[in-house]
Structure 1
């Protein structure tokens, strides 16, 4: 299959290596034109770690070129670029080409559904609750893949096409997908924002000073307890919608192949095995500028809608906004376009099952 990957960061590079090693034809597109420029000039992509691959991977000069003849499109960018990516693909995507959002946050799938409807298209939308893999780019043409997840939550818009979406994902990426009960479940399945809040807030000076530090090692018992408390807020909101999503402990166990335990215990085991990852070495990090406005803010809004206030999420937003001297929620360009705050629970649940 020709698979267009919109993005050129760590996840996009890892995804391209995974797909190419399986015999598919990934094509990367970087909106800036620089993220995969060297690959476009014929240099091999090199992946190491949980995925090993060395070989050519195409890089498109435009979104239209990437999607020309594509059998599948994958949005693999930070969420703060999702609206831009969606608006770039709408006029050029074939109506038969499914779109995967990896990973989904801030109801980007609803914005995609709204834009597709306005364009007279009804592409299958597949939302993943997390990324297929984790990794870190090493220079212009290489990536280290830390882990390929055993399980990935997914849902489709409309929900009536769930079987089709599951079949497609399994055929391409393997038997690792867990169908959830609609987009709302996926909206509450992305644990990265809450986990990154605990890690970044309680290690912020390490980030500011540019230290090189092990992320897993520094999820100490206090940090782990904070993350578990954040998780209880998220689970309470899911319960209010009548949904079950995985716990943070299940997330770490399934994502990083460690036995169930406390969040701190599992992270210490990951660190001991050399799979604890590296914490951000700058305060200008997606842990702040992506996860706060697009992750924490969306969860906080759902808490208000359900009457299950996410007090710690709200506090994290306020603390980071104070630390960086601006309202970080104002960076979210998806929720205002959906008027999410004005929707009641029933209307939002209906959209999450049927789309626009």
Structure 2
């Protein structure tokens, strides 16, 4: 297949390398152009996937989409407000789009933006990204782990099985079919794990220290993670869903045996699959995972009368530490007034 990878931070190039390693033709596009600056027709990968893999760098979005079989959007959720309208105007109606991860119901936002088109390809929402990744240089990426499985849902919901098969063909991992795109929006473990790690290590982040994030998944931080996990589980149940545990998510991401979270963190670190924690206050662990993760949970909870006091407290403390509003999520305004249950099941004006 020909796959258009939209986004060239760390995940986009890693996904490009993975798809190319499986024989697919890959086109990589950067919304700003900065992510592909210095690339010369290939991406080098190290870690769980090693080698040099061909790709084509597209200067324009329309060039990236031309002739593609499928597109993958792999940009931070805070970039969706600007990028989703641009993509909705450019993408051919028959081209399926996968969004990884499907943060804060972004597939449904994309559906709203395209509802006037009538018949069109389905939109897929993935619970997380195909790999973990760190960008090392313009043409080089480190891939600590390739995920064993990534839950996937679609709009309309009935279109999920063929999209799951498409994602498996692209990236090789299993794609368990989720009931609707709210499921992957809740299933990603990063908002809980990252927010707690940032809270517990804020002084290290502020002083730009190097610290091994999984080795510092201590008993105390794990207790807070599990408290937030319990509230997320209750929220999912209120919407008729069941999501993976944090332990299961770590197992899928890293391959270490299921165990208490501190033991899994140490196993990930000992196996050489750990990554350094953030070393700057503008980290996505807070600027993305709180507004489009924890604060999104609170938005959903208010609509079903679910109490999430610890989640609300963590958001409030992080807002104080970071000195900024972490509840503002412009995507959610697009969804006001929708019958969410019906839209998640059927899509809009199809």
Asked if TM exceeds 0.5, the reply is yes
Compared with structure 1, are the counterparts of its residues 208 and 121 closer, same or farther at alpha carbon in structure 2 (3 Å cutoff)?
A: farther
Alignment map for 1:146-165 (pairs within 5 Å): 146-165=144-163
Gaps of 5+ in 1: none
SS in 2 for 1:252: helix
Question: Is 1:337 aligned to residue 310 of structure 2?
Answer: no
Q: 2:100 aligns to what?
A: 102
SS in 2 for 1:329: coil
In the TM superposition, what whole-angstrom CA distance separates every residue of 1:159-214 from its partner, at most 9, and x where no partner exists? 12122212222222235111111112222111211111111101111111000110
Q: 2:16 aligns to what?
A: 16
| Structure 2: distance between partners of 1:314 and 1:355 | 31
SS in 1 for 2:168: helix
Among candidates 103, 111, 119, match of residue 113 of structure 1? 111
| Structure 2: distance between partners of 1:329 and 1:48 | 36
| Structure 1: distance between partners of 2:207 and 2:58 | 37
Question: Is 1:57 aligned to residue 55 of structure 2?
Answer: yes
In the TM superposition, what whole-angstrom CA distance separates every residue of 1:102-152 from its partner, at most 9, and x where no partner exists? 111111011111111134452211100111110100011100001001111
Among candidates 241, 244, 266, match of residue 268 of structure 1? 266
SS in 2 for 1:89: helix
| Structure 1: distance between partners of 2:48 and 2:118 | 41
Conserved 8 A contact 1:227-1:263: no
| Structure 2: distance between partners of 1:252 and 1:240 | 24
Q: 2:140 aligns to what?
A: 142
SS in 1 for 2:133: strand
In the TM superposition, what whole-angstrom CA distance separates every residue of 1:71-106 from its partner, at most 9, and x where no partner exists? 111100000112322212222211111000011111
Deviation at 1:275, TM superposition (A): 1.5
Which consecutive segments of 4 or more residues in structure 1 shift more than 4 A?
Answer: none
Aligned residues: 348
Conserved 8 A contact 1:4-1:27: yes
SS in 2 for 1:82: helix
Q: 2:30 aligns to what?
A: 30
Deviation at 1:254, TM superposition (A): 1.7
Question: Is 1:224 aligned to residue 217 of structure 2?
Answer: no
| Structure 1: distance between partners of 2:98 and 2:125 | 6
Alignment map for 1:68-217 (pairs within 5 Å): 68-120=66-118, 122-217=120-215
SS in 2 for 1:38: coil
Bigger shift: residues 94-103 or 166-175: 166-175
SS in 1 for 2:114: helix
In the TM superposition, what whole-angstrom CA distance separates every residue of 1:213-241 from its partner, at most 9, and x where no partner exists? 10111111111111111111101111122
Bigger shift: residues 7-16 or 301-310: 301-310
Compared with structure 1, are the counterparts of its residues 191 and 322 closer, same or farther at alpha carbon in structure 2 (3 Å cutoff)?
A: same
SS in 1 for 2:45: strand
Q: 2:313 aligns to what?
A: 315
Conserved 8 A contact 2:47-2:144: yes
| Structure 1: distance between partners of 2:154 and 2:53 | 32
Conserved 8 A contact 1:159-1:354: yes
CA RMSD of aligned residues (A): 1.4
| Structure 2: distance between partners of 1:239 and 1:44 | 45
Conserved 8 A contact 1:101-1:127: yes
| Structure 1: distance between partners of 2:119 and 2:47 | 39
Alignment map for 1:249-268 (pairs within 5 Å): 249-268=247-266
Gaps of 5+ in 2: none
TM-score by length of 1: 0.94
| Structure 2: distance between partners of 1:141 and 1:121 | 39
